[in-house]
A and B are shown apart, each in its own frame.
Chain A
Amino acid sequence: MSSEASNSNDPVIRCENVFKIFGDNAKRMMKESGGEVDAAKFQEQGCIVGVNNASFDVHPGELLIIMGLSGSGKSTLLRCISRLTDATAGKIFIEGEDILKMNNKQLIQLRRSKMGMVFQSFALLPHKTVLENIAFPLQVKGVSTDDSIKRAGEMMELVSLSGRENYFPRELSGGQQQRVGIARSLAIEPDIWFLDEPFSALDPLIRKEMQDEFLRLQGVLSKTILFVTHDFDEALRLADRIAIMKDGIIEQLDTPANIVLNPATEYVRKFTEEVPREKVLKIETVMDPVNPADPVSDIKVSKDAIIESVAEVVLNSSKPVSVIDSTGAIVGAVHASKVVHLLFGGHSKETSGQLS
């Protein structure tokens, strides 16, 4: 789940100076601006700036979250990358290929083999049963009915919906519908997975459940993921890296911890101000190097664990707790005092110093 785990360094998705401007004379205005787009000026001319000069890479197996308030251009960015809409300027590479240069046929081929997308409003086909909805991308591809239905059945199992094959979307709850949406987007085994606010339409309890489900799936599948949300908590739970957008501009793109600890702009700072640190920081940011002299407790926590999730264990332990990496080797120890400091002591310079 973490980018460091991947050894390939070629980005799966690469955006270079991507702009998306809505409006009749968008192209002309774009040319005239010479790469310096001022949203207010454009607005006067009847153009709306959706994405403003976005450049970033996404690496294989990475989960990049795009965050921002409603209307900040998250969906538009996602749609540019999946080429549901054509970017006004810039370059977008998928596995090294410039998708803006692709013709319709290549594009369809790309979508049929590499991409899956989940939508906020589920976007299921109302006239098809759950099973048919999931089989749909396969059937569109030309997979035979029997095979596609069989595969769809497997997908149903994956999202724990077995038994409801012949239901219609309208007969399912929101959470169940989104499971169908997820199953459908995964049916062709895409490498790249787009999710546009997949859980925003669900109530908080179900949302939590679906996030767990999502993490479980990602654990199994490890895809390259672009995930849009406007919910910071969600972003923190899931992200490898987070991009924060405002008025089409990516204000900052970094790991959750860095965003919280070192906001790049005033906007990001305001945005992250209220975020409790323990929800962002991993244990490794507060651990001390292993000191063989120190007595440690038998309890072990993962260095990737978010502090909040293990705080209770650490605080209840009389001795420092061991920290292990993914292979199980002990890489450090964490003292309750550090956690207390973080939880109750306000901003701490020294912890940030240990970062990166």
Chain B
Amino acid sequence: MKLRTPKSLRTLAVASAIALTSFTGVAKAADSTQPIVIPIHNWSSQVVMAYVLGGMFESMGNNVEYVPADSQAVYESIRNGDVTLSHEVWQSTFGKSFYNAMAKGGVIDAGTHSATTLEEMGVPTWVIEQDLCPGLPNWEALKDCHEAFATADSGGKGRWLEGPQSWHGNLMPERLEALGLADNWTVKFAGGADALWTELASAKKEGRATIVFNWTPNFTDAEGFTFIEFPEYTPGCRKEDGGDGKCGSPKGWLKKAANYKFPKTHPAAYTAFSKLDFTTTQIGEMAALVDIEKMDHKDAAAKWLADNEAVWMPWVK
């Protein structure tokens, strides 16, 4: 679609173009002074990492701004340029939103962290220690002990508390079906992460066995959480990919996403961002500063930056 540009607008644009090219022509590679917008979600490691990243950018002389955002909706904002980047894209929870936005255009894949993630059904470790379902964490144990996992609304079946349906659609019900567990087990979709954590706390209080969806690295690691060992994931094994569905989750990636203009507006910062690479341990450290040492997120980030110059200095060079 080609339409006439209002004349005044074009004149203005041309004028500023001339002014700017003549001015910025000298320092071509320099980053724009426009702030880089980093999103803040609602879990500790992400927030600390946001401030760590912000600190890195600031050390390079960039302006940074933080904006709270929903962790699913943020990709639409990156696409529109309202948010510059996202530094924690979890494969199984946000993969769908990320790829949807990418398909519409405007979002680029800015590389992958070394940290791998696992997102899977599992039980609190004490369930295994107390032998509430002999044979766990092997999935075959589930065949015989569904009663231990029954709840009032599950109709006598054992209950899997899965994350919201928007996270992985019908994956878990399909898996139950494929593994031949569907007669004795049912899936309940929780509304959000809060619901998962409350279930963990309440099951512990009651000494009741429970199976919930969870991931690592996560703050629940500290209290002990064991993932169920399903048949190994192979590409294409899932129902939606045409497989038989008899498989668990893969080791997931942790990616970084950015708006497509980021490399052009802030070349230096983008380079640093693409080098940014955290391991599972480092992410755990950041989360622990807040969750265990009860530090404020900003303070935790400052402390981490101070303690780990050797790690991040090379990225910003």
Are A and B direct contacts in the complex by CB distance below 8 Å? no
